[in-house]
Chain A
Amino acid sequence: MAVTEQEILAGLGKIVNEITGIPASEVTPEKSFVDDLDIDSLSMVEIAVAAQDEFGAEIPDDQLKHLKTVKDVVNFIQN
């Protein structure tokens, strides 16, 4: 069953909120994890691990470093 972009965005917002305390409403597609949301590299690993649990999509380390924005992660999971 395909998951919609909106569902992934909502799920990712919940994960980011759980890990960093940033309100899910601020996790919008154009935001950069580092520059806009002030999320460090260890937290990005936490988010990737949680996303794998939630969506079943593994994000390899060499891919993770290229995923700069929320939209990048949503697209990666969707594909």
Chain B
Amino acid sequence: MSTNRVRVVVTGLGTTTPLGGDVASTWSALLDGRSGVRAITEDWVDTVPVKFAGVAAVDPGEVLPRPEARRLDRYEQFALIAARQAWQDAGAPEVEPTRLGVVVGSGIGGISTILNAYDTYRDKGWNRLSPYTVPMLMPNGAAGWISIDLGARAGTHATVSACATGAESIGYAIEMIRSGRADVVVAGGSEAAIHPLNIASFAAMRAMSTRNDEPHRASRPFDKGRDGFVLGEGAGIVVLESEEYAKARGARIYAVAAGIGITSDGHHISAPEPTGIGGKTAMLTAVADAGLTAADIVHVNAHATSTPVGDEIEARAIREALPGAPLITSTKSMTGHLLGGAGGIESIFTILALSERIVPATANLDDPADGLDVDIVSGEPRKLPGGQLAAINNSFGFGGHNVAVVFTSA
């Protein structure tokens, strides 16, 4: 690694999740081991085989003014709320607009808008559609609205890589700052996909848990009894800056966004490559990019979605890549799987684990799968030691996307 390369630091965090409407409430729920998953009560629930989800704890309609909310798809609402929190948390830097960027993506985009608009078109005609239909359905809509809100002119991007989206956005943002295109970038992911069509479609893949009698125990990564992922919704967004810029303005620094590793499986559209080489290489690439060695990694926020196949392959990849016996957790056991939002919220959890020196436990890990041979935190949170620490957030996505982000303590 070049010694004079620009270092990128994290100065702001914002989120809205099934556990809470902000970072503090979400983090404290994670440390308490609470579940954000609940039974779905909408009338369509009888039409789908999965009857629960991680619904956002705070409805975005309660946060945003009505005229603003009605022009945004729900995924854009989550993103704007999280971005504003992160921006305030960073102290609302007075950055030159041409030096401020946005990278915020979604796995699916404004799908509820698409479906509702189609009903309007079919039942009432084209001229009854909202003129905001297109900006609400497009997957770069959230990034666009955030750029308007903050007056960002250094470039607005929306990565789309299914469940790796949030992490890939953060990786892209790191590269934007390193290459000199921006001093400050707002980055992360958002998703609002709790719609019967999505549940039906994921169920058609046999990818979702159907533990309908125990929703809060359905997301059980690494457990023998796991039977699929649990759909969640929300957004996680961070403010990244060059270290030089952050220090010059006296910003509080949570962590260093030290390395990014991205690979693709080139194997199957939804199933992970069975040896885990893609995830392993992403982690090793990120570690090298951070100028570290694999044994330096003390904590991994795993992608582990509670699917029978994926969790064990990831455990193998971690075991083979990282010899330092890192403490592993899957916070999806409590939030559910936020798809494009996952990499955003889980990067925040990785950053907080480093800054607070504590790793949340994986909930529902009653009977670990055989042969995992990795140190998964369960039961109670575990403390991290003092000193300079490094951790990884893993995010993998349908399409064969593997993203690992290395954060180090400030």
A interface, CB within 8 angstroms of B: 18-21, 42, 45-46, 49, 52-53, 58
Contact = CB atoms under 8 A, between A and B. Distances in A.
Given A19-B70, A49-B131, A53-B128, 12 more contacts: A18-B66, A18-B67, A21-B65, A42-B131, A42-B132, A45-B131, A46-B130, A46-B131, A49-B127, A49-B128, A49-B129, A52-B127
A27 B260 CA distance: 53
Nearest to A44: B131
A46 B128 contact: no
A67 B65 CA distance: 27
A48 B67 CA distance: 16
B315 to A, nearest CB: 50
A21 B132 CA distance: 16
Interface string B64-83: 01111010000000000000
A46 B65 contact: no
A45 B135 CA distance: 15
Contacts of A45: 131
B67 A19 contact: yes
A52 B120 CA distance: 14
B132 A20 contact: no
Nearest to B135: A42
Interface of B: 65-68, 70, 127-132
A58 B68 CA distance: 25
A53 B123 CA distance: 13
A52 B130 contact: no
Contacts of B68: 21
18 contacts: A18-B66, A18-B67, A19-B70, A20-B67, A21-B65, A21-B66, A21-B67, A21-B68, A42-B132, A46-B130, A46-B132, A49-B128, A49-B129, A49-B131, A52-B127, A52-B128, A53-B128, A58-B127
Nearest to A48: B127
Contacts of B127: 49, 52, 58
Nearest to A19: B67
B132 A18 contact: no
Contacts of A46: 130-132
Contacts of B131: 42, 45-46, 49
In the A-B complex, the 6 residue pairs with the smallest Cβ-Cβ separation, listed nearest first, are A21-B67, A45-B131, A42-B131, A20-B67, A49-B128, A21-B65
A41 to B, nearest CB: 8
A34 B131 CA distance: 17
B185 to A, nearest CB: 28
A45 B128 CA distance: 9
A52 B70 CA distance: 18
Contacts of A42: 131-132
A70 B65 CA distance: 24
A20 B71 CA distance: 10
Contacts of B129: 49
Contacts of B128: 49, 52-53
A37 to B, nearest CB: 12
A5 B131 CA distance: 27
Nearest to A61: B127
Nearest to B124: A53
Nearest to B128: A49
A1 to B, nearest CB: 22
A18 B67 CA distance: 6
A53 B65 CA distance: 23
A18 B130 contact: no
A42 B135 CA distance: 12
- Among B65, B68, B129, B131, chain A packs the most CB atoms within 10 A around the CB of B131
Contacts of B65: 21
Nearest to A18: B66
A66 B66 CA distance: 28
A20 B68 CA distance: 8
Nearest to B67: A21
A23 B140 CA distance: 32
